Amino acid sequence: MSATTETLSTPAPDQHREAASARRVLLTISFCHMLNDMMQSLILAIYPMLKASFALDFGQIGLITLTYQITASLLQPLIGMYTDRSPKNFSLSVGMSFTLCGLLLLAFAGSYPMVLMAAAMVGMGSSVFHPESSRIARLASGGRHGFAQSLFQVGGNVGSAIGPLVAAYAIAPHGQSSVAWFSLVALLGVILLATVGHWYKAHRAARAKRPVAAIANPLSRRTVVAALAVLLGLLFSKYFYMASISSYYTFYLIDHFGVSTQDAQVYLFFFLGSAALGTILGGPIGDRIGPKRVIWGSILGVLPFTLVLPHVDLTWTIILTIPIGLILSSAFAAIVVYGQELIPGKVGMVAGLFFGFAFGMGGVGAAVLGELADFTSITFVYQLCAFLPALGLLAVFLPDLKSSRART
């Protein structure tokens, strides 16, 4: 009897080590996501510096964001589809290497076209990093997909939040060339992601020895396509509005309230910090109540705050951006998880599609809103964008995935 008990209990230490290893992987990719998005947000945060150095107008500022985000958005779904079929163990390190080269080019760019080229290289790094990291997060989730996506994404939000602070206190006093020091941060990311690559290689080898269950989708192709269209519409509303904050909030504060550039970057940190908190809350809540409910509450629930924002003073502007960032950012992890459950077996493609579309909408939004600001005003841009969260009503058309599987 004791021998039998001993035999049955032996897998427990192995399972414990495997779970601990998966947690380390999740924390590593979240940390690297922080490094990645901090370096990317430096581009946005030094816009006032680039505007002054190269005598740029708002349209040209928007084109920088468009170049960076379109590069990422066009490549991400393609890379996700490719790695679904042919996984690459160390693709994350390769992607971070592109970011490293882009930062070096940005630091010593002597012309506007060189700035655009640097932004494109950073975008190429993102095109690899996001879908592949989302895949790793799901593999290491232990079934808690919403929590894993939130933990992965909150790293990016934290990185985006501290980017303006880094720009304000480390780059602004020393000039554009000081961006080169952050290539060392990218090098650290390359090294850390190589360790994730070794885990991924071992994980794939272990899975290859197990039988693979057939994946059946209970939903019709038409229903899946319609649901994807709704999710993309929700991402459009979210990231068009986010572009108005991330690209032009500092200019809005400077133009509308007369604050200094450094203070404006600190106030931008408040918004981005609240977005980071919302991201980490959205996934676990989605695991408990379902991603569809989180999507409903996140997109539509922010509407009252966005409608009021363009009509209040500086203090209330800063206060209102906190619930806006908190509520609006909670949707993305739920949207990714919902999409991956909507199309089972296509983790990389779905992550690439959503991350790519989000980046693309952010880029298009930055360019369109920049041109609109040149023709009208920054204040008018915020008054117009205030209505975008009303598109959250589209969530009513999303199917209930749990009931569909139960019927099957």
- Within 8 A by CB and 6+ apart from 237, the residues are 299, 388, 389, 390, 391, 392
d(CA 146, CA 288): 9
- Backbone φ, ψ for residue 259 (5° rounding): -80, 165
Nearest Cα neighbor of 61 from 134, 125, 119 is 119
Residues in the chain: 408
CB environment 321-352: b (16+ within 10 A), e (fewer): bbbbbbbbbbbbbbbbbbbbbbbeebbbbbbb
Token output for 178: 């000081």
Residue 5 has a pLDDT of 43
The four Cα atoms 127, 130, 136, 138 give a dihedral, to 10 degrees, of: -130
d(CA 79, CA 83): 6
- Within 8 A by CB and 6+ apart from 172, the residues are 46, 49, 261, 262
Delineate the domains of the chain, giving CATH numbers in brackets: 19-203+217-407 (1.20.1250.20)
- Measuring CA to CA, how many Å separate 398 from each of 31, 190, 216, 227, 233? 33, 39, 19, 5, 12
DSSP 86: S
Residue 15 has a pLDDT of 66
Q: How far is CA 171 from the centre of its chain?
A: 23
pLDDT, tens digit, for every residue of 6-31?
A: 444 444 566 667 777 778 888 999 89
d(CA 251, CA 318): 14
pLDDT-flagged residues of the chain (< 70): 1-16, 45, 172, 208-217, 359, 363, 402-408
Residue 365 has a pLDDT of 80
Tell me if 389 sits within 8 A of 234, measured CB to CB: no
With 0-12 CB in 10 A as exposed, 13-18 as middle and 19+ as buried, what is 368?
middle
d(CA 18, CA 23): 9
Nearest Cα neighbor of 80 from 126, 120, 25 is 126
**Angle, CA 293 vertex, CA 288 and CA 295 arms, to 5°:** 115
Residue 192 has a pLDDT of 92
d(CA 150, CA 153): 5
Residue 280 has a pLDDT of 79
